Amino acid sequence: MMSLIQVASLLCVALIVQAFPSRNGWISVMASSTFSHYILAVLYARPKILSLGSDPRYRLPLLIVALIGATAYLSGFPIVIFFGLHHAFNEVYLLDRQCDSRELPGHAKVRTADLFTRLFVYFTIVRHHNHMTWIADELLFAGLAASSLAYVYLLICEQPSITRALRTASFQLIGLAMVAVSFFADIEFLMIVLYHVVFWIFYPLMKISKAGASAITRYLVATFGITAIFLLISPLSALPFSLTAEAFNHQLVVWAFVHITLSLPLSTAHPEWIVRWFRPRLREASQIGTAS
């Protein structure tokens, strides 16, 4: 299912980019849908936000996370790198939470190799971005080759079944295919952002669908409704109060730092130590279980 969502997301990105003759057109759609993604992430995480805000045990972790995000933004840390880390962690740990082999010996090594491979896939694809030119292409290719080989070796050791190994590695295979495409087509950083957002439009549908058709309808109406509102003030709009491309993109970057920072305490698509950091009760239960 995850691979189908990935392929569907890639197809949507291709269609959106092709639908607009001007670059500002698809970027406006990307930015508007990203703002929608930011807002819905907060709305759906409202219970967790209230829980974090009301529990004094979370204050220090939240302060540290806020300082990390603020420092990254104020210091001018490249968003292409900040987002890349967020994107890679999301994909690796989101898939890992659904992996039926995560309790097997050696799985942590597979996951680590998976993470490094995804990072190298991402950075290799965006290697022409102006904030990535400090890394030699040869280093990226070498890192991609080394991490991919390590991932394949460790995965085969963990998954003797070729079918299961291929199913587990499907995300990686598609990523490597996109690296190959990047040699013939210009895959921009913002296209990957658009892919990330489209993926996160599709992915929650699996969980929301369990609540019935009305829940799906509310989610889709909210998603596309908020996107439409932002399109009205985007550079694509002819309305007199629409923002310039520079102003719109600036807001996109500002709120990207906020969103990525907030995802650390709110999302489980991160390393276990981060997840446990914001779930003291889970940590305490684990300690009690160990003591007993």
Q: What's residue 85's pLDDT? A: 92
Q: What's residue 109's pLDDT? A: 84
What mean pLDDT is predicted for residues 149-166? Answer: 77
What pLDDT digit, counting tens, does each position of 86-135 carry?
999 888 887 766 655 555 556 778 888 889 999 999 999 999 999 998 89
The residue assigned the tokens 């609540």 is 211
What pLDDT digit, counting tens, does each position of 213-257 carry?
899 999 999 999 999 999 999 988 878 888 888 889 999 999 999
The residue type of 223 is: T
**Is pLDDT of 65 > 80?**
yes
Coil, strand or helix: which one is 167? helix
C-alpha to C-alpha distance for 181 and 172, rounded to whole angstroms: 14
Sort 3 into a burial class: Cβ within 10 Å, 0-12 / 13-18 / 19+: middle
What mean pLDDT is predicted for residues 10-32? Answer: 91
C-alpha to C-alpha distance for 271 and 129, rounded to whole angstroms: 28
The residue type of 194 is: L
What mean pLDDT is predicted for residues 9-23? Answer: 91
- The domain spans of the chain are 1-18+28-278
pTM: 0.87
C-alpha to C-alpha distance for 214 and 210, rounded to whole angstroms: 10
Rounded percentage of the chain residues whose pLDDT exceeds 70: 88
Rounded percentage of the chain residues whose pLDDT exceeds 90: 46
Q: Are 62 and 52 in contact (CB under 8 A)?
A: yes
What mean pLDDT is predicted for residues 271-277? Answer: 76
Q: What's residue 287's pLDDT? A: 40
**Residue with the larger pLDDT of the pair 239 and 84:** 84
**Is pLDDT of 68 > 50?**
yes
- Within the chain, what is the greatest distance between any pair of CA atoms? 67
Query: pLDDT category, 283, cuts 50, 70, 90?
Result: very low
Q: If you average pLDDT over every residue of the chain, what do you get?
A: 85
Nearest to 115 by CA among 137, 141, 142, 143: 143
Q: What's residue 104's pLDDT? A: 57
Alpha helices for the chain (secondary structure H): 2-19, 23-44, 46-54, 59-74, 79-96, 107-125, 137-158, 162-168, 170-181, 189-202, 204-208, 213-232, 245-266, 272-277, 280-291
Q: Mean pLDDT lowest for which of 29-43, 63-77, 199-213?
A: 199-213
